[in-house]
Amino acid sequence: MSNTWIKMCGLKQRDEIEIAVELGVDAVGLVFYAPSVRSIGISEIDELLTCELKGTKVVALFVNPSREEVEAVLSSGRIDLLQFHGCEEPEFCESFEVPYLKALGVEASVDTEEIEANLHRYQSAQYFLLDTFDAQDHGGTGTSFDWSQAAALSAAVKQKMILAGGLNPQNVGDAINRVKPFGVDVSSGIEAAKGRKDIIKMKQFYEGVRRA
């Protein structure tokens, strides 16, 4: 049974949060990037997080935000981890004195040495997230990158690496067995429609991870 760390991202409804917590996922992601169909507003944070979280962490996702945007979300007092999905510099990510996760979009032409070099710049990150590169959507595309790129990374990197991009209940077990990441992150792979999660798929994904 796999103890791989699990994050479910882009949750917008209270029942989605409740199911994720009930399943026992390690983290839920709230998106604060207005162009995304999965985005929420600051005023919705308390409305969504009404249940006892039982150790599930709350991650706030940003794409090239201003300092004021991040600080406004942090002022809710409900955020455990920041996720930066744009071109944010390490100094910016570190400056909030909150643990952070840095996402890196992986292109087909990128080799493992380049990935590791980029991740080295963010060595202060608690976690790294490898996702399929998309200049417009910045994640949640439902498309996988070449997992052999992630599998070839050093063991030291994989101790902090979260795998994302095109994961779903059917392929997550294979992804874990091939890449052996610290964790996995899913959004579109557990949706009934873009921006609305499917409770059955959420359960199937969790079970798929634990069976790996």
Active site residues: 9, 131
Distance CA 137, CA 103 (A): 13
> What CA–CA distance (Å, rounded) separates 5 from 26?
6
d(CA 147, CA 115): 13
Q: How far apart are CA 155 and CA 10, in angstroms?
A: 29
Contact 74, 52 (CB under 8 A): no
Q: How far apart, in Å, are the Cα atoms of 204 and each of 66, 168, 199, 200, 208?
A: 37, 9, 9, 6, 6
Q: Which residues contact 24 (CB under 8 A, 6 or more apart)?
A: 54, 56, 206
